[in-house]
């Protein structure tokens, strides 16, 4: 079992400079007075995280997306550096974003979200103490935020204040591992962290060590207490060279689908009471690109989609066997360059792909019978989009 180092009771004053509100934040793209939004029954808010290093993008962008027409309209933006992954609180009042920014400056940011206007307002940020956080999640009660720190090989946790702001880091879980790929797997690289559907466990994917970790969170930790039980760590190894990146749970809670960035394969697990049992491996990337990225199950549980980058960029499409959760590959949809993250609308009608290197979000319609995708040619032009999230209006 890998050794975990836990740092507790971090002195708040050490991070005082990170907790202050950023006075340079803008609350709308034009800086104008926000107007209240009249939402239709089929309208959603769509939030998009970006990379800002090339100065084309400025931060997080908010759109109105219509689930009937597949059309999007710009609403607002807020400036922040490299918000490459986002999560939304269960009540949709707050948004949390990573700042993927090296060893010394990487942070987790908190924003309030006014659903009447679609405006994000920066609350504060806290250092992750782990380099290059690439994933962020919040617990089902909205009390604890976790980041997966890729270069740092660690997981950070933060308690959430009543006003949605983040307290300084209270737990840092440091992992030490390696695997067969001498270029990409010389050390641990945590690439995702998320709760099980019942909220009882936290699972994390370690691309560098070829393992999935399971931890048990504390239900209501006091300030200064760790957010997880150190002794609760359990490891689930996967085949060498897999490079676990993202994973998703089936809506019925009985299956888990893990995408290997390096192997380009989807591993199917049975899931029960915190335990994972491997049952199938099937190819998503068939050209050896070693760049598989994101995976999602459709809301009705009938289809699984997985994105692949670097060669033959596109989305692999699978049907789900309703009896055992196993997959059958039925199609492949080419996309723009570097399809990183993607999201499916709650009604299962559209799949939106963040094509980082083509500076656009592609909007695909989903055939409700076959699961196959069709390009609607309603691209959303945006510099370096890498994360798409939906919430109700």
Residue appearing with tokens 């099980």: 196
Which pLDDT tens digit goes with each residue over 335-389?
999 999 999 999 999 999 999 999 999 999 999 999 999 999 999 999 999 999 9
User: Which residue ranges form the domains of the chain, and what is each CATH number?
Assistant: 1-25+80-237 (2.130.10.10)
Does 21 have pLDDT greater than 50? no
- pLDDT tier for residue 193 given thresholds of 50, 70 and 90: very high
Q: Give CA–CA dist 127/103, Å, rounded.
A: 10
| Structure confidence at residue 33 (pLDDT) | 53
Mean pLDDT of 26-36: 53
Phi, psi of 278 (to 5 degrees): -65, 140
CA distance 121 to 183: 40
Name 62's bridge partners.
47, 76
Task: State the chain's mean pLDDT as an integer.
Answer: 92
Percent of the chain with pLDDT over 90: 85
pTM beyond 0.85: yes
Task: Give the pLDDT confidence score for residue 230 in this predicted structure.
Answer: 78
Strand order in the sheet with 190-195: 190-195, 202-206, 211-215, 234-237
Q: Is the dihedral of CA 139, 144, 150, 153 positive or negative?
A: negative
User: Tokens 């998503």 map to which residue?
Assistant: 284
Query: So what's the pLDDT on residue 32?
Result: 44
Q: Which residue in the block uniquely carries the two structure tokens 């309030």?
A: 112
Query: How big is the chain, counted in residues?
Result: 393
For 72-103, what is each residue's pLDDT tens digit? 999 999 999 999 999 999 999 999 999 999 99
Those residues whose C-beta lies under 8 Å from the C-beta of residue 43, and which sit 6 or more positions away, are 64, 65, 66, 67, 393
Rounded Cα gap, residues 10 and 19, in angstroms? 13
Q: Tell me the pLDDT tens digit for each residue of 288-319.
A: 999 999 999 999 999 999 999 999 999 999 99
113: Cα within 13 Å, side-chain hemisphere: 30
Q: What is the pLDDT of residues 121-173, one digit of tens each?
A: 999 999 999 999 999 999 999 999 999 999 999 999 999 999 999 999 999 99
| Phi, psi angles (nearest 5°) of residue 291 | -140, 30
pLDDT value of position 154? 98
């Amino acid at each position: 079992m890998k050794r975990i180092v836990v740092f507790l009771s971090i002195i708040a004053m050490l991070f005082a400079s990170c907790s202050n509100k950023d006075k340079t934040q803008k609350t709308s793209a034009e800086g104008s007075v926000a107007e209240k939004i009249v939402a239709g029954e089929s309208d959603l808010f769509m939030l998009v995280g970006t990379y800002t290093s090339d100065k084309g993008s400025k931060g997080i962008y908010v759109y109105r997306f219509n689930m009937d027409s597949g059309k999007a309209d710009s609403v607002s933006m807020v400036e922040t550096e490299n918000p490459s992954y986002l999560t939304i609180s269960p009540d949709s009042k707050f948004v949390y974003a990573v700042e993927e920014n090296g060893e010394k400056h990487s942070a987790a940011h908190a924003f309030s979200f006014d659903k009447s206007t679609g405006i994000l307002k920066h609350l504060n940020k806290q250092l992750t103490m782990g380099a290059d956080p690439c994933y962020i999640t919040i617990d089902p009660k909205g009390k604890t935020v976790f980041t997966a720190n890729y270069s740092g090989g660690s997981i950070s946790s933060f308690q959430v204040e009543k006003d949605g702001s983040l307290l300084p880091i209270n737990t840092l879980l440091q992992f030490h591992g390696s695997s067969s790929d001498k270029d990409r797997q010389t050390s641990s690289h945590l690439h995702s962290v998320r709760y099980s559907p019942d909220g009882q466990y936290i699972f994390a994917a370690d691309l560098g060590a070829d393992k999935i970790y399971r931890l048990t969170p504390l239900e209501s930790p006091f300030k200064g207490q760790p957010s997880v039980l150190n002794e609760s760590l359990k490891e689930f190894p996967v085949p060498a060279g897999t490079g676990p990146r993202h994973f998703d749970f089936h809506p019925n809670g009985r299956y888990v689908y893990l995408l290997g960035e390096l192997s380009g394969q989807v591993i199917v697990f049975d899931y029960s009471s915190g335990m994972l049992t491997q049952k199938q491996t099937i190819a998503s990337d068939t050209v050896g690109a070693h760049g598989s990225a994101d995976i999602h199950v459709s809301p009705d549980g009938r289809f699984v989609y997985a994105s692949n980058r670097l060669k033959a960029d596109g989305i692999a499409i699978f049907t789900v066997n309703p009896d055992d959760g196993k997959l059958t590959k039925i199609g492949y949809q080419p996309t723009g360059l570097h399809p990183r993250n993607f999201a499916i609308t709650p009604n299962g009608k559209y799949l939106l792909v963040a094509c980082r290197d083509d500076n656009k979000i592609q909007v695909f319609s989903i055939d409700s019978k076959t699961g196959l995708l069709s390009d609607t040619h309603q691209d959303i032009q945006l510099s370096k989009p890498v994360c798409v999230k939906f919430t109700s209006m």
